[in-house]
Amino acid sequence: MRRFFIEEKDIKENQVTIKGDEARHIAQVLRLEEKDKIKVFTGGGREYLTEIIQVNKKEVIGRILEESRLDTEPPIEITLLQGLPKSDKMDFIVQKVTELGVKRIIPVITQRTVVKLNEEKARARRNRWQRIALEAAKQSGRAIVPEVREVIPFIQALDNLNRESLNLIPWEEETSTSLKEVLKRSRIQDPGSKITVFIGPEGGFTPEEVRAAKKKGAIPVSLGPRLLRTETAGLVTLAMVLYELGDMG
């Protein structure tokens, strides 16, 4: 059954109002009609089985038939700090880490970042990535839509780092400490615990960046003997974290 995202304010009593792109998609692409049933969610953890009672390209009104609480979010809160990659790789990364369960995504400009974005382009890319996160959340049954934040420099990302989080920086030159070892000895087991993962762009992080991250409390870790692409490294790291400390497997 199709799922659609709405704001909390668009629920009144037993009715929901779907607006904007979601309404146009229902009316003009899917061509749903009165009495068709859909599911809507607000990002606040609840989902509503809804019967359509009115359709036009500007808004769709539905009657709530059933309300349920979704239990699809990981018990730990994961933030991905992704070194900005070339081409459309970021689209893929946002989509897949949303499916895995990430809470927020922060694109980061590092020393080896090739992509150059002015303010207007950065804003447009962020809007695009947020739409991709929304679609991936709808498809994967997520209770929330991950937040895609604005593109920031690596140094600013370090300054904003939460010292109470387990901060991990996979790095190909790290040989003595594996991600598996760090996760096994981690005390972060309680629901609501926070983990931040740094992933470099093509070319990875520089030694200077890793040293700066260590000073802020990040732990360099190895992902294994093979060198992973930037669009692969984040997915592997999140999957390992969620398997060990979260809800996968």
Question: CATH code at 168?
Answer: 3.40.1280.10
Residue finishing a domain among 46, 69, 92: 69
Tell me, yes or no, whether 95 and 35 share the same domain. Answer: no
Average pLDDT over all residues of the chain: 94
The pLDDT value given to residue 246: 84
Tell me, yes or no, whether 217 and 144 share the same domain. Answer: yes
Nearest to 107 by CA among 88, 94, 120: 94
8 Å CB contact between 168 and 216 = no
pLDDT category, 44, cuts 50, 70, 90? confident
The answer, yes or no, to whether residue 190 has pLDDT greater than 80, is no
Mean pLDDT of 96-111: 97
Q: Which residues of 175-209 are buried (b: 16+ CB within 10 A; e: fewer)?
A: eeebbeebbeebeeeeeebebbbbbbbbebbeeeb
Residue finishing a domain among 69, 98, 122: 69
Question: SS3 breakdown of the chain: % helix, strand, coil, rounded to 5?
Answer: 35, 30, 40
The pLDDT value given to residue 57: 82
The pLDDT value given to residue 45: 84
Question: CATH code at 7?
Answer: 2.40.240.20
Token pair, residue 167, equals 């901060």
Nearest to 102 by CA among 82, 123, 131: 82
Mean pLDDT of 150-156: 97
Range of the domain at 81: 77-245
The pLDDT value given to residue 249: 80
Tell me, yes or no, whether 228 and 117 share the same domain. Answer: yes
Tell me, yes or no, whether 104 and 214 share the same domain. Answer: yes
Into how many domains does the chain fold? 2
Tell me, yes or no, whether 204 and 87 share the same domain. Answer: yes
Residue finishing a domain among 42, 69, 96: 69
**DSSP assignment letter at 27:** I
Tell me, yes or no, whether 36 and 106 share the same domain. Answer: no
pLDDT category, 222, cuts 50, 70, 90? very high
